[in-house]
Amino acid sequence: MAEPRRELAAVILAAGQGTRMKSALIKVLHPLAGRQMIGHVIAAVRGVGADRIVCVVGFQGTRVRDALAAVPGIAFAVQEDQLGTGHALQCASEALEGFEGDVLVCCGDTPLLTDTTLREVVREHRRHDVPATLLVAELDDPSGYGRVRLDSRGFVEAIVEERDADDDTRDVRLINTGVYCFTWPAVRPLLDRLSPDNAQGERYLTDVMALLADSDRPGRAARLADPMEILGINDRAQLAEAEAILRDRIRRRLMAHGVTFLVPETTLVDAEVDIGPDTVIYPCVLIEGASSVGRESVIGPFTRIVDAHVGRGVELQGWNLVSRTTVPNGSIVKPYVRQGAE
């Protein structure tokens, strides 16, 4: 007889302002490849099969709620004062009332995290039947990150913030990514034991791992295969770096499904765009928003498609603007023609 399915929830921490962005807009709402930054994180946790998604908001909380209002299945928790990651998860507890499964915790400013990685974290967590699993990564330059010490069996012994680390600990290249998977009934009571007795006066999720290390059921580590996935976005330069990575992923995914890009690096395709196989995309094309292009079409150079649907076997000969309209199957559109709304 098969075991009952174990529920999975996700908590996305999105209460911080992100002052280094030098923007009036909260960091997690900055656009990346046609989605707001937090939208990529939501897509990743949804791709793992999270039954519930709780977004912890604080700074510009109303603005974040409004931005995600059309996204189904999102609950919100409010962290009025930003008193640490442990406190943020405490704030999410009410939205998880009665939940008995596992909880993924992710940061809203890590849009490069993939559902493949998160699925592996959950798989490792359940395979070892531990109360907590921390995603760790090994970096050539771990500067600025908390260092993670493991025992010989892969259990987490300690997480040491860089400012508190001695020289030996600073040489450790294994870092805390800020991604956790918790068995909620086991970890929820530990949140009430977190202490703000530190220089910042905050309650940290790293202290949950410390409490478990002192118990008979310590937490484990799961290793991240590609450290680039935990690139956090703290300034405009990192925003541009993440944008380039996401755009490349989108093009590669489409090429794997039969789309030809003649000069891939010159073409920008948004995350929600769908393109059919055997379509050829010429250089310097932008396809944005919720657009789609049917199979066996040709999109000529310097064309921009915005929230539009281009049918099967269509030829856009170049320098076209197609906006918020439908181009019927088999159409041939000459150069410099504009279609749809401006």
pLDDT band at 1 (very low <50, low <70, confident <90, very high): very low
pLDDT at 324 over 90: yes
**Cβ neighbour number for residue 260 with a 10 Å cutoff:** 15
Which secondary structure element, helix H or strand E, spans residue 327, and what is its range? strand 326-327
- Domain ranges, ordered by start, for the chain: 8-230, 257-340
More confident residue, 1 or 109: 109
- pLDDT score recorded for residue 88: 96
Which secondary structure element, helix H or strand E, spans residue 168, and what is its range? helix 167-170
More confident residue, 115 or 82: 115
pLDDT digits 0-9 by tens, 112-141: 999 999 999 999 999 999 999 999 999 999
Q: Which residues contact 300 (CB under 8 A, 6 or more apart)?
A: 282, 285, 315, 316, 317, 318, 319, 320, 335
Report the CATH superfamily, name and number, of domain 8-230.
Spore Coat Polysaccharide Biosynthesis Protein SpsA; Chain A (3.90.550.10)
What CATH topology corresponds to 257-340? Answer: UDP N-Acetylglucosamine Acyltransferase; domain 1 (2.160.10)
What are 53's strand-pairing partners? Answer: 10, 74
- Alpha-carbon distance of 247 to 268, in angstroms, equals 7
Q: Which residues contact 194 (CB under 8 A, 6 or more apart)?
A: 84, 86, 87, 90, 203, 204, 207, 208
pLDDT digits 0-9 by tens, 11-44: 999 998 888 899 999 999 999 999 999 999 999 9
- Residue 19's alpha-carbon distances to 22, 24, 76, 87, in angstroms, are 6, 9, 22, 20
Mean pLDDT value of segment 45-50: 96
Q: Which residues contact 147 (CB under 8 A, 6 or more apart)?
A: 159, 160, 162, 165, 169, 170, 172, 174, 175, 176
- Alpha-carbon distance of 176 to 314, in angstroms, equals 49
pLDDT at 201 over 80: no
pLDDT band at 164 (very low <50, low <70, confident <90, very high): confident
pLDDT at 198 over 80: no
Q: Is the pTM of this model over 0.85?
A: yes
pLDDT digits 0-9 by tens, 91-100: 999 999 999 9
Mean pLDDT value of segment 50-73: 94
pLDDT band at 167 (very low <50, low <70, confident <90, very high): confident
What rounded mean pLDDT belongs to the chain? 94
3-state secondary structure of 76: strand
Contact in structure between 239 and 21 (CB atoms under 8 Å)? yes
pLDDT digits 0-9 by tens, 210-250: 999 999 999 999 999 999 999 889 899 999 999 999 999 99
